[in-house]
Structure 1
Amino acid sequence: MRTPYPSDISREQFEAIRPLLENARKKTSPRRVDLYDVFCAVLYLLKSGCQWRMLPSEFPKWRTVHAYFSIWSEPRKDGSLLTQALKKNQVGAARVKQGRNDSPTLLIVDAQSVKNTDTAGQKGYDAGKKVSGIKRHIAVDTLGLPHAIAVTTAEVTDRSGALEALKGSHADLSRVLSVLADSGYTGQPFAQGVQACVGATVQIAKRSELHRFAVMPKRWIVERSFAWLEKCRRLWKNCERKLDTSLQFIQFAFLTLLLRRL
């Protein structure tokens, strides 16, 4: 038995996704490591922001942990195993638990520019926010749960990134009727793109003309979702060589958040 860490989830919570993760590869010999310990090791790295080689020795070897994370992140027909565990397992279950339909009718979209570290492999420059790095695009429901996520280099516009995220998840968004966005998404091309992708209309939430601080209705929800990600030090900056790795860590963070609510 290893020493538990504050970042760990309970074994009961992990059981909700264990069958899915166990089917990542066919077993040709008995597994020598506990998948629960592997999952908690990735979670420790995500929460603490340490390097793979700096994982505590009580966890399985870092190469083993990294290998399992790579397997869970592999692209598949229905998305990676982390994508399946998040969207098709936990997000729908969390909505049903709240008395909602498993698929939303309203989505709120936004983007977040994140600075790169020297180890990051891909980057762009966001001239509006003066940030050199990547950009995270998410679409959440009124509970703040993610239904579409995309990671691009920072020079990609918010509109293009949002369409990329929606296209990647359009099969699960058949009930969406409206997409709420800020003034950065204004324009007929974006509205037409959303209509063609998910068949929804676009609502633009405008700021107060009096130039005073005011909370825009429902717009704060997506900002709270970004704040949830900021609880993971690994996500404070982008240090990943590939954009897909950044995407998988974002999904891992949201997945853990939902598992803790079980």
Structure 2
Amino acid sequence: MADPQKVLVYRHAAVTRITHWINVLALTLLLMSGLNIFGAHPALYWGQKSTFARPWVSIGAEQHGAKMEGVTWIGRTKFRTTGVLGYSGKPGAEEQVAFPSWATVPSERDLADSRHWHFFFAWLFVLNGLVYWLVGLGRGHIVKDLVPNQHDVAPKNIWHEIVAHAQLKFPKGEEARHYNVLQKGAYLAVILVLLPLMVLTGLCMSPGFDAGAPWLVDVFGGRQSARTIHFLTAFAIIGFVLLHLFMVVASGTWNNVRSMITGRYAIAPEKTGEAA
């Protein structure tokens, strides 16, 4: 039974909810198929060409005594990553592979099929994003709900939100109806910086697009630099998602999930005399 003191408000429009769940599906499959593609050559470089002797990051396996071990190099530092990166599989059936089969689509190493998966969900993601932007701008959602106002960017307010989040204290009453400045900043960073970077650097790895717009590769410092930025951006998005999920659980799993399914969000009243 719902708490009689709580008020249900309409927080997320239908388009926001639909595009959110399409993004969840698309980004999950993009990540898993992308890991399979990366596994065909699990190394990263800076510049135009692959400098095989000096990768910035590489994942592989090495013989260590009587057994093989997965190893990951970041610069000149080596990490043993058996079972996760470089060498994994069921007991007795381990193999040299960049990522374990449960983390990739398809589960077996298949560059051609993984590219098909990746391109399909990349286009789904782009089209879904265009719908979100067109509707969001047309209805004022992006400007009204995501762009910080003068109060949001005041140093005192930013510090207040940082402290409140660190203490896992969440807004109540009128404040809970709107995104706070940290949420706005995080969402804008994702939709204005990380996601466009993912799309643009992904296009740089398309031979057909390179032929038509070679200047874009130069913008990112070369094809290998674009590939590295693509990979780093993907893991920055993973970091955002993990933090997002943590905050969803910490602030009320069911309330947050319900709001992204039905649009309705329950707000607890602010107690008299309680600090904002």
The higher relative CO (CA closer than 8 Å, separation ≥ 6) is in: 2
Which interval holds the TM-score relative to the shorter structure?
A: under 0.3
TM-score, structure 2 normalization: 0.23
**Bigger Rg, which one:** 2
TM-score, structure 1 normalization: 0.24
Higher percent of residues as helix: 2
